[in-house]
Structure 1
Amino acid sequence: MEILRIFNNNVVLARAEHGGEVIVTGRGLGFQAKPGQRVDQEKVAKVFVPEDGRDPDNFGSLVAAVPPEYLVLADRALDTARAELGIALGSTTVIALADHLSFAIVRTEKNMPMSYPLRGEVVHLYPREYAAATKVLNYVNDRLDKPLAADEAVAITLHLVNAGFASGDLSYTYQMTGVFTQLFDIMGAANNRVFDRDSVNAARFITHLRYFFVRATTGRQLDERSGKLRDAIRDVYPDAHATAIKLQAVLELRLGVPLTDDEVTYLTLHVARMVDEDRAPEATAP
Structure 2
Amino acid sequence: MASFILKKRLNNNVIIAVHEAYGEVVLLGKGLGFGKNQNDWIKVDSYEKMFVLKNGVEQEQYMKLLPTIDEDFVEVMNDLIYLISENIHSPIHEHIHIALTDHIAFAIKRVKQGIHIENPFLTETKDMYPAEYGLAAKVVKLLHDAVGVKLPDGEIGFIALHIHSAISNKSSDEFHHYVDLISELIQLIEVSLKVKLDREEIQYLRLARHLTNIIKRAQNRDKVDAASELANLLKNEYPLCYNLSCKVMLEIKNALHIPVHDAEIVYFTMHLQRLISKNE
Contact 2:132 2:160 in 1 (8 A): yes
Structure with higher helix content? 2
Q: Partner of 1:163: helix, strand, or coil? A: helix
Cα separation, partners in 2 of 1:137 and 1:61, compared to 1, 3 Å: same
Q: Partner of 1:101: helix, strand, or coil? A: helix
Gaps of 5+ in 1: 216-220, 279-286
Contact 1:15 1:21 in 2 (8 A): yes
Verify: 1:158 aligned to 2:168, yes or no.
no
Contact 1:125 1:197 in 2 (8 A): no
Cα separation, partners in 2 of 1:236 and 1:139, compared to 1, 3 Å: farther
Kindly provide the amino acid, as one letter, of the partner of residue 106 in structure 1: K
Where does residue 104 of structure 1 map in the other structure? 107
Contact 1:73 1:98 in 2 (8 A): no
Question: Cα RMSD (Å) of the superposition?
Answer: 3.6
Where does residue 33 of structure 2 map in the other structure? 29
How far does residue 143 in structure 1 lie from its aligned partner after superposition?
1.7
Q: Partner of 1:103: helix, strand, or coil? A: helix
User: CA offsets, 1:26-47, max 9 Å, x none?
Assistant: 3442754224x43343542321
Where does residue 184 of structure 1 map in the other structure? 186
Where does residue 218 of structure 1 map in the other structure? none
Kindly provide the amino acid, as one letter, of the partner of residue 196 in structure 1: Q
Q: Partner of 2:100: helix, strand, or coil? A: helix
Cα separation, partners in 2 of 1:14 and 1:147, compared to 1, 3 Å: same
Where does residue 248 of structure 2 map in the other structure? 247
The two structures have a TM-score, normalised by structure 2, of 0.72
Contact 2:231 2:266 in 1 (8 A): no
Gaps of 5+ in 2: 276-280
Q: Partner of 2:41: helix, strand, or coil? A: coil
Kindly provide the amino acid, as one letter, of the partner of residue 33 in structure 1: N
The two structures have a TM-score, normalised by structure 1, of 0.70
Verify: 1:73 aligned to 2:76, yes or no.
yes
Contact 1:23 1:49 in 2 (8 A): yes
Contact 1:13 1:24 in 2 (8 A): yes
Cα separation, partners in 2 of 1:264 and 1:198, compared to 1, 3 Å: same
How far does residue 103 in structure 1 lie from its aligned partner after superposition?
1.0
Where does residue 265 of structure 1 map in the other structure? 262
Aligned length: 258
Residue identity over aligned pairs, in percent, reads 17
Contact 1:48 1:91 in 2 (8 A): yes
C-alpha separation between the residues in 2 aligned to 1:245 and 1:170?
28
Match of residue 274, structure 1, among 264, 271, 276: 271
C-alpha separation between the residues in 2 aligned to 1:272 and 1:72?
52
